Chains A and B, each alone.
Chain A
Amino acid sequence: MSEVHAEAAVHAHAAPTGFIRKYIFSLDHKVIGIQYYFLALVAVFVGMFLSLLMRIHLVWPMAHLPLLGEIKPETYLTLLTMHGTIMVFFVLTTAPQSGFGNYVLPIQIGAPDMAFPVLNMLSFWTTFLSFVIMLAAFFVEGGAPLHGWTGYAPLSAIPSAGPGQTLGADLWIISIAVFCAASLMGALNFITTTLDLRARGMSLMRLPLTCWSWFITAILGLLAFGVLAAAGILLLLDRNVGTSFFVPGGLVMTGVPVKHQGGSPLLWQHLFWFFGHPEVYIAILPGMGVASQVLSTFSRKPIFGYRAMVYAMLSIGILGFVVWGHHMFMSGMSPYSAFAFSVMTMAIGVPSAIKTFNWLGTIWRGRVRFYTPMLFAIGFVSLFVSGGLSGPFLAQPQLDINLHDTYFVVAHFHLIMGVAAIFGIFAGTYYWFPKMFGRMMNERLGQAHFWLTFIGTYAIFMPMHYLGIAGHPRRYSQLTEVKFLEPLMSLQEFITIAALITIGAQIIFVINLFWSMFKGAKATANPWEATTLEWTVPSPPPHDNFGGRVPVVRHGPYEYAVPGAARDYVMQNEESTVPAHS
């Protein structure tokens, strides 16, 4: 086989020239990564907008909003459902894994592209399609569904259950099913690429922790999304052809007896949370990878306990699959199984603590450079800890029964999975932006963005713990006139104002992003003096990453502060080295 032929075999596409092949239906993992990123950016603004409407409604329920007018209870539930769904699927699952992973993973392992470029393009456009279907739910008759992002049956299974529960709910389910298909294609590509396309010398124990986190996340996705798809199919059948997998017998819905009988709403919960719990790790693991990478680079120190970090991520991944029942303590499950789920959930605290300890160990006595990516990585650790601390409380069935449907849970999951993951995304954005666009982001705007977001986040979500303990329920539309909640209303107002300011601060980010893309200072190949392979190629990298040459890896990913080396870092492919006295 000729040389050219061989090259084509791995990189089945030459550099395209036309606009459409280059930017729309591109096969280049870098373009696809950026496409995913921008999709998530659009989604996060939709999601934030919905949350803002909710927050405003919570404290000023009678306010007349432009276009919407006064928000009705069912509209509130619609906002809640779509906010949660869009954030979880199209932001937290899309940006850190499909966005950054696509862009960075092949370069970090020394590959010219993903293993299956055509599949990669398909998975992006399938995700896009899924997003369009999801948004379409807003515009059909009855509007978007109101069954919450968990789609609990029988509310979700019966079209007459509410205004959005007819076509809107069908679109919601179809969108999720399409999203499952897209994610599975993506996971397949990530796993095969990591297993099979590593450059010579890139052994598994030399993989950057980012690659480990994308790899483990892909495995979780591979196992979890198939289950969600199965649940979605059953739900669609229940809704449209009259089966009764999830609908119990004897149900009366809006005054009309339901025909179905014998199904089990609990079955939906099992299937959903078997996906749902791993999903929260799908959201957070890539953030852990990015945080590790950034903390090490900007502390000029190797990762403290690299192997422990890898094993911690692996055990989080494995344990993530056996704890789904902790979302169902309220469902009347047997106390024995509740006990088992509780114990296993607490066990996840161990690898999580190892990770936190090692992050702190990495910064400890480092020569820390406080650039924006570093600030967001530290912010990630901070949010991970403050959100994580409430986990063990909720893992106690007795406590959870009191706290479950209150703002305590809203505080917990927003801190740990919502904003911690968002901070991971920001850290990654500021860190890889120079590589992706060949320009630096503005440092001063970045710092302002960080501090406003960091303080704002705590101002929004910390007080919610208190609200929850004081008994403020969640998922309710209009509670300003409820007597026992009256003392809490000023706190609610404070939260809403904090949310307004924090969301406003994101405009700084958007300005910085687009301004820097065109006007930022030119970036060198390795502006952060980092060690992994993506920093060995120009910014932005050429079409096939390494210009037809295949890198050879000679070092681990975090060789900072190597005693006696000429510089304080050694790049992974460097032939370098150190004077004999070391």
Chain B
Amino acid sequence: MDRQFTLKDLVLFATLGLLIVLLLVAMYMVDRQWLKLAAMEHSLQEQAQDMRALRGQLGELERRIRSGEVVAGATGETTAAQQGDAFDRAYAASRQPDYAEGDWVVTAFGTGLQTITPLVSSDAYASQVQSHVLESLLTRDPQTLEWVGLLARSWQVSDDGLEFTFQMHPEARFSDGEPLTANDVAFTFAFIMNPRIAAPRERAYYSKIESVTATGTHEVVFRFREPYFNALSLAGGLAVLPQHFYAPYLENPEAFNQSKGLLLGSGPYRLGDARGWTPDQGLVELERNPRYWGRVQPPYERVIWRIIENDSARLTTFRNGDIDTYSARPLEYRRLLDDAALSARARHFEYMSPVSGYSYIAWNQGSAERPSPFADRRVREAMTWLTDRQRIIDEVFLGYAEVAVSPFNPRSRQHDPALKPRGFSIEKARALLREAGYDDRDGDGVIEDAEGRPFRFELTFFQDSEDTKRMVLLLRDIYARAGVLLEPKPTEWSVMIEAIQKRDFDAITLGWTSGLETDIYQIFHSSQIEGQADNYVGYRNPELDRLIDQARATVDEDARMPLWQAAERILHEDQPYTFLMRRQQLLFVDRRFSNLEITRMGLNFQMLPVETYVPAPEQKYPR
């Protein structure tokens, strides 16, 4: 039976039709909204870009005006401070014809990070991340090594050398938009010195400062307790923390001390979520700070550090183009140089970084009650004569290193060029050991002390370092020729730290990083033996103590350098460590990066302000 098409059906169909039409119209509307939104986003991005450019021009203009003033009123300021600022090199880079903004920098860390919160973190990786986010008042020019202003526009030193006054850039802002003022600097110091904050190392370091006072919105005064040679670097290197962000944690210091990623600053990059980073992400990703105040805006959109612990995995990732740098071991480097596919996409750099430091063998002298064989200066000197450093460099490090004479870099003025490293001589070593009472008394080839105990010691080293292991095995074979028994003791990192703190080792091989002017107080001053301080070999020399104290209190560089050199001569004489070598950095960097240059501070690849860039046609990552 046919059903009739009734009025009810008509209404139903009409409603249905209407609904469909409405739906179509709605879809069209939504689509138009999306398009509109994309257009708005695009124009916003353009505006942001314009604003960055404008900010850059403004900064440049301001600099010109001020330098004009300085020329006009040449009698005005008398400090040696006004020699351009930190952005000069980056500005020059941004004037290059192929300069372009955009692209990402992706590199890798070899070990996982526990935390990137400033003060709480202690490793070099975390400080590399922080250097992109936090800024200090001054920085060093990588080529001249002079201090130049970053957050500070100018600065003066009082006549007694105890007071440092900084005038800051008024336009400086944190990445959340809050202005950066002198109060933030004073707060940072107060924050570090607060005993409830877990920053004992920084506190010890900054305890030379008596007070930090904001004398105006953009002027801050550092006052020191006593003259200190590194005072400017101490004051100027203080990474400024935002008061409005960190102050609430004074109420609840535990939340700060145990935090993983509380990082906010005024630097060119920022964390997407300033409180949200956690170690389990397996990478650190920074995005460009859209409100960066600096005269030159950083070129890269993102800076990413991936965590790849395995060496060969890191190399494979680099080969695949997923990370942009690879730092190679000497043997590997030699092989990779012949790799055509790799050299097609990466440039290689070998350079000696002045801050990379030196490696050494530390001889534990034992305690005053129970001295070890190494408490005798002649034994330590004999060990240095036996340590064939040139051979280690040639055979283990394939020549990519230089012999270290002392803790001071040979390129620095702290080093006395007249001092030459001891060479290799079994005869001299044997003679010294005989003098110290060690001789082969039973004819078995091993030397014994007066009671007939053989000269045998354990050399503790980090178990995961292949090159160190090779070196230790080589040393064992060399020492054997003089009748000295070396027993290699590979150790896990945490166990090694514990052994150092308990002074429970015979000899240990490690490295210290160093600065441009190395302060040896922590490592060799006898006041640093007690507790768990860094003079863990128990080395004591009153004359050296006096020289170190005097040098640290001498602000005048020309008067200070002879004191350091005298200290160096004592160290050379006493050999509390056998200084091994300074190693070159062997680095591969992706070819798309432009303006790479080896400065006196090392390669400028991740130096700040950023002065490298990727030309537009070679950019790899989307904007």
**A in complex with B:** no
